[in-house]
Every structure is written in structure tokens, then in C-alpha cells.
Amino acid sequence: MSEIKPAPAVIRVAHSPDSDDAFMFWALAHHKIDAEGLTFEHILTDIETLNREALKGTYELTAISYHAYAHLHDKYALLNVGSSVGDKYGPVLIAKKPLTRDELTQITVAVPGEMTTAYLALKIWMPELKTAVVPFDQIMERVESGEFAAGLIIHEGQLTYQQQGFVKIVDLGEWWFEECNLTLPLGGNAIRRDLGPEMIQKIGRVLKRSIEHGLKHREEALEYALQFARGLDKKTADAFVGMYVNEMTLDADVEIRKAVKLLLWRGQAIGVIQDKIEPEFIDVLPELAGSV
């Protein structure tokens, strides 16, 4: 158990500059909810950078890939609120033309980071694949240019790759469901253990309140999220947000926790993860009387 440190004056909350995360944190960032006296600073950067910073314990509350949790569970616990889960959809392996599994063994696949869940799921699907890390927002253009024959796309590209002339080799969320009859848990919100139980609950309540407020005031939250949607029209952005901010985001239920455990155990079985991890979720308790 981490030694409990004095409460910080400012809670740094780190998340991706994406429409779904923006939607989730809109109410908190714009002071629409009761923050229970806490002051928050928002840090926006790509998920692989967040994973790497979490290895160092940089931020009090941070979005992470569920794969990354296996490498930093000594510093962070998972909150039951804030998960991004693919219900029969997820990261997509794309190419300019169809490729067989034999052909895939002859190429290098561009991936958005070796600590992402996308990478872990890809390696479980095909352990012998060779990969190279490329910033997630450069993958499609570098496949288009011919630098890579295939790329693993996350975020909004999952909805736009066909319009841009790419073909799907595999949707890892579809494959995972067919394989395990479970959703694919991609990312969650991790909270630093040394904050102690009382502060963890307090921050967790504020996060849950922010997500609930966004879902109840969808139009306003979506307008804010559009600035992070990387060129998506409103209808497509709304569809993307709905994929990853929904009732499953409010509570990682038994099935989601089972899926996280299985994902990490299968990662350990192929050698991507060193130890067999039992994921620990902290359930955010009901709100304090008087909170809104």
C-alpha cells in the first residue's frame, strides 16, 4: 500500500484531446458541477504519452490504456467510472488492400504505442506480427504513402477509414467478442493510490458527476467536444462519442471487469505482460448529501 501523501492543492487530471474524453470532462472543465472544493488542472495529451507518464506517477487522475495498468498497478488503482469500452467494435487494422495472415507476417504494422490496449489486442490476435510505433494521428497517412503496408487505428479513424480508401483487415473489438463473448475494454481512469481512500472517493465522485452531467446535457457537451473531433461532422462525432461515453462509462460492471482480467491474463500468456495481474477497481460510493 502506498504511503498516503498530503492532499495536493491542485488535482491534475490528464486525458486525451479526443471528442469522447472532452465530452466526459466538459462539465468539470467548465465548472458545471460541484467539485467538492477541489481545484482541477486539465492536461491533454495522447494516450501513449499518458501511459508513459503514469509509469512515473505523474498525475493524480489520468486516463490510461487498460494494457498499461498491468505495468503501473503499484502506483494506480482503477476507478469504476470513466471506462471506454468497445461493444463489438474497437481498434481496426487497416491496409490499402486485403492482406492474408501469411502476408501480414512479411510486413511491419504501424501501431499507436506499445502500452495501448490496441497493441495488446493485436498481439493476442496475432503474436508473431512485427510492429513499429507511430503517432496515432499519422498512421493512416503513413499507410497511404506506402511507408507501412498496414496500420492499427484508434479514435475517430475507426469511423472514417473506409471513406479514406482503406480496407479492414480485422476489427479487434469484433474479433474479441467472437473469441470471448465479451466487450473489449480499451481504457479507463486511474487514480494514484497515495491520495488515500477519502480523497480517491472525492475525486471519483466529481468525475462521475461530470460524466453524468454530460450525458444529461448531451447537446452542450457535444458542442464542446466537436473542437476535439479532428474534422468529423457533428453527426459522426455524436456517433463516436456514443460509442465510448455511455452507461458502461458510468460503471465498469462485472462483465467489463471480467474482460479486463482476461485481456491482461492473455497478454501475460503471450509474454507481452510480465506478471499475472488481478485488476483492482475502486467503486465510487454514493454522493455526499447536498452534492449536485
What residues have CB less than 8 Å from 263, skipping those under 6 apart? Answer: 66, 67, 117, 120, 121, 124, 184, 185
pLDDT digits (tens, 9 = 90+) for 53-86: 999 999 999 999 999 999 999 999 999 999 999 9
| Cα distance between residue 292 and residue 73, in whole Å | 32
* Residues 219 and 96: beta-carbon distance below 8 Å: no
**Has 31 been annotated as catalytic?**
no
Pull the grid cell for residue 229: 473531433
pLDDT digits (tens, 9 = 90+) for 237-290: 899 999 999 999 999 999 999 999 999 999 999 999 999 999 999 999 986 544
Active-site pick, 15, 67, 155, 213: 155
CB atoms within 10 A of CB 32: 17
At residue 212's C-alpha, the angle toward residues 70 and 292, to 5°, is 120
Range(s) within the chain of domains with CATH label 3.40.190.10: 11-85+185-282, 92-180
- What region, left, alpha or beta, does residue 140 occupy, with left being phi > 0 and alpha being psi -120 to 50 degrees? alpha
| Cα distance between residue 268 and residue 277, in whole Å | 8
What residues have CB less than 8 Å from 194, skipping those under 6 apart? Answer: 2, 3, 4, 5, 57, 75
pLDDT digits (tens, 9 = 90+) for 137-184: 899 999 999 999 999 999 888 888 999 999 999 999 999 999 999 999
pLDDT score of 233: 87
- For the domain covering 11-85+185-282, report its CATH number: 3.40.190.10
pLDDT digits (tens, 9 = 90+) for 152-164: 999 888 888 999 9
* Residues 185 and 260: beta-carbon distance below 8 Å: yes
pLDDT score of 289: 46
Supply the DSSP symbol for 152.
E
Between strands 92-95 and 167-171, the pairing is antiparallel
- For the domain covering 92-180, report its CATH number: 3.40.190.10
Q: What is the value of pTM for the model shown?
A: 0.94
Q: How far apart are the first and last CA of the chain?
A: 32
Task: Measure Cα distances from 267 to 63, 66, 102 in Å.
Answer: 20, 11, 22
* Residues 124 and 90: beta-carbon distance below 8 Å: no
| Cα distance between residue 229 and residue 240, in whole Å | 9
